[in-house]
């Protein structure tokens, strides 16, 4: 025992000593950059560029071409509609949560994350069951669904912004004679603009990217990801045409999304809120207690009926499946449940590996960004890191399949792993970089003058202070990897390598699967993700 501790301590001392060597620092940082470029950033770009010449064939099939163009256009129409309306609907609720202390609001606050935690493939099925008496699959249903799962993102971001916001400005405006509504419109909202823009972009990206749920509720309507999903499965399109049209749609979606995001993030901050005009009469009425009460009730109702109930509706058929014997068959692993459990194992092992690798190689990258170690190239690196979550994940998956497909010896499992790493890398690096950035640099500087070597500073100062963000970043990576449908669908060719979301979407779309099987499949999926998240949370609490 004693010898082991001395071994461990001498090993850590050697590591500490090594960390102050410039060559070691150089190796660590450059390997994290090489990891990013060679496994995350460049493969999809090269994959698409190498096949760009295959686009030609699509012009031989004008029908397919116009269908593809329509799908691309619909992607952006839907994304803007969802992001905009979500923003309008979610702001009042964020307000309520940040400013009110009642028990009901506390309850709402805990409910908000639910649609975020439910894997979208299962969420889509739940929403379909909820809305099916009222509306058919199509544009409206897709809108309702995407509205539900982007909503929590906006609420979370805006609640965070509101809690950080110094209310003194609003108070000052009020004492100067502004109505509450005027104060919020002219003072608070303009100051929170970065948060508003960030949450709008997140909702936009989520809508552009989502595949697993959308494909189920789309009906005859198509956007980019749904189109790609269907073309991948289509049997009536010859392979050369398939390849051409997929490259065509993927490249346009990727390029347009990237351009759009950089344009919005560059131009939106220049957009001014209309703060110069004040309408005392209307705004006083809007600030009255009854108007506020009406707003709060309306926000809560929208939240409950459009977001929460459709998300949780799956509970009913799941309960049914628990008692009609489906559960017993599922647990024994008889056909088709043997496949179900195997894909679940696939999903968990891929998500876990992707999380660990992203932490290992993402940490140095986060330090590079937060401490601007690349000098003037830092903003460029930061922008490159944000690209993978901007582009629709199914297009990312497809281009990765083109790139890695050349390496025949590479087992499909690894390509799946790489694609899951690529779609989640940004989440960890960005949340970690933000956390490190929030530690005053003086703290690290002082530690170094007190004799601490770089690794000691990282271990004893930086990491303990950013632990919460590190864990939440890791959890985000894990849940996103677990719930990803689009990229997995584009990569997996053989059933052996299916992940759970692909299997589930297949089941839900298939006539051969019974309603009970569909419900239980989705229910178990949700239950397992909840349990694993809970386990992770408990684990993080214990290590505090």
Binding region for another protein (CB under 8 A): 13, 20, 440, 442-443, 445-453, 456, 460-461, 464-465
Report the C-alpha gap between 16 and 14 in whole angstroms.
5
- To another protein, the closest distance from the beta carbon of 332 in angstroms equals 50
Instruction: Return the residue matching tokens 């699509």.
Output: 58
User: Which lies closer to another protein via its Cβ, residue 3 or residue 290?
Assistant: 3
**176, 195, 226, 192: which is closest to 74 by C-alpha?**
226
User: Which lies closer to another protein via its Cβ, residue 102 or residue 449?
Assistant: 449
**194, 536, 198: which is closest to 359 by C-alpha?**
536
User: Which lies closer to another protein via its Cβ, residue 13 or residue 406?
Assistant: 13
User: Which lies closer to another protein via its Cβ, residue 236 or residue 442?
Assistant: 442
The torsion angles phi and psi of 167, rounded to 5 degrees, stand at -70, -10
The per-residue DSSP string of 180-197 comes to: HHHHIIIIIHHHTHHHHH
- To another protein, the closest distance from the beta carbon of 430 in angstroms equals 23
Query: Distance of CA 371 to CAs 312, 331, 368, 402, 430, Å?
Result: 43, 51, 6, 36, 13
Report the C-alpha gap between 295 and 133 in whole angstroms.
28
User: Which lies closer to another protein via its Cβ, residue 13 or residue 285?
Assistant: 13
Half-sphere exposure in the Cβ direction for 377 (13 Å, CA) = 6
Report the C-alpha gap between 401 and 482 in whole angstroms.
19
User: Which lies closer to another protein via its Cβ, residue 103 or residue 376?
Assistant: 376
- To another protein, the closest distance from the beta carbon of 485 in angstroms equals 39
- To another protein, the closest distance from the beta carbon of 442 in angstroms equals 4
The torsion angles phi and psi of 136, rounded to 5 degrees, stand at -90, 160
**403, 386, 419, 405: which is closest to 486 by C-alpha?**
419
Instruction: Return the residue matching tokens 């100051």.
Output: 191
Report the C-alpha gap between 111 and 108 in whole angstroms.
5
Q: At what angle do helices 515-542 and 337-370 cross, to 10 degrees?
A: 40
- To another protein, the closest distance from the beta carbon of 375 in angstroms equals 11
- To another protein, the closest distance from the beta carbon of 385 in angstroms equals 25
User: Which lies closer to another protein via its Cβ, residue 111 or residue 465?
Assistant: 465
User: Which lies closer to another protein via its Cβ, residue 99 or residue 460?
Assistant: 460
- To another protein, the closest distance from the beta carbon of 448 in angstroms equals 4
- To another protein, the closest distance from the beta carbon of 537 in angstroms equals 20
């Amino acid at each position: 025992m004693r010898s082991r501790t001395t071994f461990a301590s001498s090993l850590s001392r050697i590591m500490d000593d090594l960390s102050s060597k410039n060559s070691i620092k150089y190796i660590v940082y450059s390997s994290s950059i090489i990891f990013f470029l060679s496994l995350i950033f460049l493969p999809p770009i090269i994959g698409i560029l190498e096949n760009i010449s295959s686009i030609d064939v699509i012009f031989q099939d004008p029908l397919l071409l116009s269908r593809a163009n329509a799908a691309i256009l619909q992607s952006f129409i839907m994304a803007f509609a969802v992001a905009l309306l979500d923003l309008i609907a979610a702001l009042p609720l964020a307000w309520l949560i940040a400013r009110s202390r009642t028990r009901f609001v506390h309850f709402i606050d805990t409910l908000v994350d639910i649609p975020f935690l439910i894997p979208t493939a299962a969420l889509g099925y739940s929403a379909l069951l909820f809305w099916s008496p009222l509306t058919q699959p199509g544009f409206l249903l897709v809108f309702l669904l995407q509205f539900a799962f982007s909503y929590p993102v906006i609420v979370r971001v805006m609640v965070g912004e509101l809690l950080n916001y110094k209310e003194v400005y609003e108070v000052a405006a009020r004492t100067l004679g502004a109505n509450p509504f005027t104060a919020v419109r002219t003072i608070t909202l303009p100051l929170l603009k970065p948060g508003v823009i960030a949450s709008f972009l997140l909702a936009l990206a989520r809508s552009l990217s989502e595949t697993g749920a959308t494909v189920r509720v789309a009906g005859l309507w198509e956007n980019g990801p749904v189109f790609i999903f269907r073309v991948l499965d289509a049997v009536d399109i010859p392979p050369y045409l398939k390849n051409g049209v997929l490259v065509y749609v993927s490249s346009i979606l990727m390029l347009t999304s990237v351009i759009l995001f950089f344009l919005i993030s560059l131009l939106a901050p220049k957009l001014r809120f209309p703060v110069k005009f004040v309408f005392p009469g209307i705004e006083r009425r809007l600030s009255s207690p009854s108007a506020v009460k009406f707003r709060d009730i309306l926000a809560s109702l929208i939240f409950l009926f459009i977001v929460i109930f459709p998300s949780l509706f799956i509970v009913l058929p799941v309960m049914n499946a628990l008692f009609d014997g489906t559960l017993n068959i599922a647990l024994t692993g008889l056909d088709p449940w043997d496949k179900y459990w195997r894909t679940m194992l696939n999903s968990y092992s891929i998500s876990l590996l992707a999380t660990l690798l992203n932490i290992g190689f993402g940490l140095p990258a986060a330090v590079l960004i937060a401490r601007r170690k690349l000098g003037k190239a830092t903003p460029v690196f930061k922008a490159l890191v944000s690209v993978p979550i901007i582009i629709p994940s199914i297009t990312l998956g497809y281009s990765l399949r083109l790139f890695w497909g050349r390496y025949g010896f590479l087992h499909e499992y690894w390509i799946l792993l790489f694609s899951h790493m690529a779609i989640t890398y940004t989440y960890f690096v960005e949340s970690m970089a933000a956390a490190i950035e929030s530690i005053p640099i003086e703290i690290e500087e002082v530690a170094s003058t007190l004799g601490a070597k770089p690794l000691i500073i990282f271990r004893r100062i930086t990491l303990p202070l950013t632990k919460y963000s590190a864990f939440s970043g890791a959890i985000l990576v894990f849940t996103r990897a677990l719930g990803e449908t689009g990229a997995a669908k584009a990569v997996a060719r053989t059933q052996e390598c299916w992940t759970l979301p692909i299997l589930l979407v297949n089941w839900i779309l298939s006539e051969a699967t019974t309603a009970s099987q569909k419900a239980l499949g989705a229910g178990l999926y949700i239950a397992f993700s909840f349990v694993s998240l809970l386990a992770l949370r408990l684990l993080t609490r214990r290590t505090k």
